[in-house]
Amino acid sequence: MRAFRVLSHAVLAVTALLAAAVPASAKGEDGAPTEAGTTFRTATAVKQGQKATASASAGDYLYWQFPAGAGQRPTATATVNLADVSARHGAATWRLDVFDGLRRRQPCASGEPEKKAGQQDSSVTLTCTLRTVRPWAERWSDDPLPGAYYLRLTVADGPEEDLGLPVRAEVEATAGDAGGAHAGGGELGAPLHAGAVAEPKDGWTGGWWSDRWLWTGGGALLAALAGIGGYTLTRHPHRFRSRPGAG
């Protein structure tokens, strides 16, 4: 009996230690993440259109990951709420980088991924819109492909005395449909790298609907009407001739 009690106490102690080692859920009331990872491997997963927040220190590297499917044009936005003006010693440059699943840095087609915050500024906002995600690409190409994308936010340059000051970051990743004009043939059998993110609403390869269907259908309709008109003109030419003496 005594041995059983000793064993029970040991099990309870180990359980308590394990429970203490597991961090509390880093999500707010709306389910949005309230922490960021510190490396690619620990990047926090964020859904499209979901605003994530994180408290950190100037100089930290903050990482998130989000999904993007074929035909989408992802846009990442990050706002950094800076420490109190009285605690800062000068301007600082902040940078937002976007990487694909192979950790290749993707260039921004538009936006302002790097921006200097003056000493009197209370916040700084960065944006980066990627090129349209392609359904497939050649091996040598660095075109964006379906899968998880990583966001990295950090201060790129600033007074050394300001490193370690508290900051609060807010990030959001959205992905609008680029349209059928950017669609391409071929399809990956699986996302380049799914990471820990959930599959996009329309899947990794995009939805079946595209405005290319409108162009294709419209072209087919015009071709059919032209064919009917040509047939009618050829078959019954007298219907289209002017009556004698007309005019």
Q: How far apart are CA 155 and CA 137, in angstroms?
A: 33
For the chain, list the domains and their CATH numbers. 25-214 (2.60.120)
pTM, full prediction = 0.73
Per the listing, tokens 């680029």 go with 178
Q: In what order do the strands lie in the sheet with 52-57?
A: 52-57, 166-177, 72-81, 123-129
Question: 9-54 pLDDT, tens per residue?
Answer: 443 343 333 333 333 347 876 789 999 999 999 999 999 999 999 9
The secondary structure of 201-215, three-state, reads CCCCCCCCCCCHHHH
Alpha-carbon separation of residue 229 from 181, 220, 224, 240 (angstroms)? 30, 14, 9, 11
Per residue in 116-171, pLDDT (tens digit) is 999 999 999 999 999 999 998 877 788 999 999 999 999 999 999 999 999 999 99
Cβ atoms of residues 93 and 124 within 8 Å: no
Token duo for residue 155: 């201060």
Q: What is the pLDDT of residues 130-145, one digit of tens each?
A: 999 999 887 778 899 9
User: How far from chain centre, in Å, is Cα 153?
Assistant: 14
**pLDDT interval class at 214 (50, 70, 90):** very low
